[in-house]
Amino acid sequence: MAEKSWDVVVCGDCGRRVSRSSQFLTVSEILRVRKSMRLLHRILRIVCLQCCFWIGVPLFVAAASGGESVKFTGGVVAADHPAASAAGARILREGGNVVDAAVATSFALSVVRPASCGIGGGGFMVIWDADRREARALDYRERAPALATADRYGDAADAGFPEPRSVRGGLASGIPGTVAGLCYASKMWGRLPLRQVLQPAIELCESGVLIDAHDREVQSGTLAKLQKRPEYRRHYALLLKLYLNDGKPWQQGDRFYSPQGPVLKRVAESGAAGFYEGPVAAAIAAAVAEAGGVLTADDLQGYQPTVRTPLQAEFRSATVFTMPPPSSGGIALLQTLQSLECWERRSGSTLQSLQHNSADYVHVVTEAFKHAFADRAEFLGDADYVSVPVRRLLSSDYAEQRAATFRMDRTLEAASYGRFFLKDDAGTSHFSVLDAAGNGVACTETINLTFGSFVVVPEWGILLNNEMDDFSANPGKPNAFGLLQSAANAVQPGKRPLSSMTPTLLVRDGRAVRAVGASGGPRIISATVQNLLNQELWGMTPAAAVAAARFHHQWAPNELLLEADLKNRAGKELEGRGHQVQQSGGLAATQGAARNTDGMLQGGSDPRKSGQPAGFDLEK
Known catalytic residues are 428
Interaction of residue 499 with ligand DON, rule CB under 6 A: yes
Interaction of residue 489 with ligand DON, rule CB under 6 A: no
In whole angstroms, the minimum distance from the beta carbon of 411 to ligand DON comes to 25
Which of 129, 215, 254, 470: binder of ligand DON (CB under 6 A)?
Answer: 470
What's the burial of 505, exposed, middle or buried (CB within 10 Å: 0-12/13-18/19+)?
Answer: buried
In whole angstroms, the minimum distance from the beta carbon of 428 to ligand DON comes to 3
Element (H, E) at 512: strand 511-519
Q: Which of the residues 423 through 442 are near ligand DON (CB under 6 A)?
A: 426-428
- Number of residues lying near ligand DON (CB under 6 A): 14
Report which residue type is found at 304: Q
Which of 500, 534, 602, 605: binder of ligand DON (CB under 6 A)?
Answer: 500
Interaction of residue 448 with ligand DON, rule CB under 6 A: yes
Q: Terminal CA-to-CA distance of the chain, rounded, Å?
A: 51
Rounded-to-10 torsion of CA 309, 591, 265, 142: -50
Interaction of residue 455 with ligand DON, rule CB under 6 A: no
Instruction: For the chain, give percent helix, strand, coil, nearest 5.
Output: 40, 15, 40
Interaction of residue 411 with ligand DON, rule CB under 6 A: no
Interaction of residue 535 with ligand DON, rule CB under 6 A: no
**Residue in 342, 332, 343 with CA at minimum distance from that of residue 407:** 343
In 386-436, beta strands by DSSP E:
428-435
Interaction of residue 571 with ligand DON, rule CB under 6 A: no
Interaction of residue 326 with ligand DON, rule CB under 6 A: no
Interaction of residue 501 with ligand DON, rule CB under 6 A: yes
In whole angstroms, the minimum distance from the beta carbon of 448 to ligand DON comes to 4
Stretch touching ligand DON by CB under 6 A, among 234-242, 344-352, 520-528, 593-601: 520-528
Nearer to ligand DON, 326 or 418 (CB): 326
3-class secondary-structure state, position 550: coil
In whole angstroms, the minimum distance from the beta carbon of 552 to ligand DON comes to 13
Stretch touching ligand DON by CB under 6 A, among 237-245, 256-264, 308-316, 515-523: 515-523
Angle at 85 between CA 84 and CA 89, to 5 degrees: 120
- Beta-carbon contacts of residue 298 (< 8 Å; ≥ 6 apart): 146
Contact assessment for residue 503 and residue 136, using Cβ atoms and an 8 Å cutoff? no
Q: Which of the residues 13 through 42 are near ligand DON (CB under 6 A)?
A: none
Element (H, E) at 211: none
Contact assessment for residue 7 and residue 17, using Cβ atoms and an 8 Å cutoff? no
Interaction of residue 587 with ligand DON, rule CB under 6 A: no
Interaction of residue 174 with ligand DON, rule CB under 6 A: no
Cis-peptide into 542, omega within 30 deg: no
Which of 178, 207, 322, 519: binder of ligand DON (CB under 6 A)?
Answer: 519
Contacts to ligand DON by CB under 6 A:
426-428, 446, 448, 467, 470, 499-501, 519-521, 524
